[in-house]
Amino acid sequence: MTAFKKSFNIKKRDFVRAGEASINVQNILKSLNMDHKLIRRIAICGYESEMNVVMHGGDGILTVEINTGKIILDIEDNGDGIENIELAMQKGYSTATEEHREMGFGAGMGLPNMKANSDILSVESEKGKGTQVHMEFNVSAD
């Protein structure tokens, strides 16, 4: 059986529409009657990565892939990339601007949250070439 796949655009610095891609994903998962705790985790991860694209990255795409046993989120952007991924993964590390902090972002908790809420997280990035975030979530059969 092939998977269901759908992509959503994310626009650089568009704070007004930020979150729309994750809301779309959330609505699809709700229509499939997925476990609400799983939906919650996926929504958190989707939103954090979507915000990272909006705040730090460039224009991007969020793709959701739904299989019977596994859900995958891929978020890619064409921004400046992350210089030191290991550092970026640390709790509290942030390069957010004053302006971002005023909006309530920049705690440096996005990536750690994604790590905690996904079953697999991988971040690939090259300075100047953008960032690719890949997350997997196991769907337990019950």
Partner 1 sequence: MQVSTDSMHSSHYVIFNADICTGCTNCIKACPTKAIRLYNDNPTCLTDNCIRCGECLRVCPTGAISTTTYELEALQKDKVSITLVSPVLYSQFKGVMPNDILLAVKKIGFHHVMDLSYYIEMFLYAAEEYIIENRITGRSPWPLISPACPVVIRLIAYQFPKLLPHLIPIMRPVSLLAKETRANISREYKIKKDAVILYHLTPCPAKMVPSKSSFAPENSLVDRTMGIKDVYAQISGQLKHMKKNGIEALREESETQKISGNCLLWGISGGEIAGINSDKTLAVSGLRETIAYLEKIELGLFKDIEYIEFRTCPEGCVGGALNAVDKYIAKNTVLKMLRKFGLERLIPREKVILLYENGWGLSDTTQDELQRIFGVYKEHISIEQLKDIEKIMQQIQGKDCAACGAPDCRTFAEDVVMGKAVLNDCIMLRKREIDKISEYK
Q: Which residue has the tokens 């908790």?
A: 109
Instruction: Compute the distance between CA of residue 33 and CA of residue 19 in angstroms, rounded to an integer.
Output: 21
Output the smallest distance, CB 122 to partner 1, in A: 23
Distance from the first to the final alpha carbon of the chain: 19
Instruction: Compute the distance between CA of residue 84 and CA of residue 89 in angstroms, rounded to an integer.
Output: 9
Contacting range for partner 1; rule: CB under 8 A; set: 1-9, 76-84, 86-94, 123-131: 1-9
Q: Which does 109 bind (CB under 5 to 8 A by kind): partner 1, Mg ion, ligand ATP, none?
A: ligand ATP
Q: Which residue has the tokens 């989120």?
A: 73
Print the binding letters for residues 20-39 with partner 1: x by CB under 8 A, - otherwise.
--xx--xxx--xxx--x---
Given the rule CB under 8 A, which residues bind partner 1?
Answer: 1-4, 6, 19, 22-23, 26-28, 31-33, 36, 40, 43-44, 47, 66-68, 104
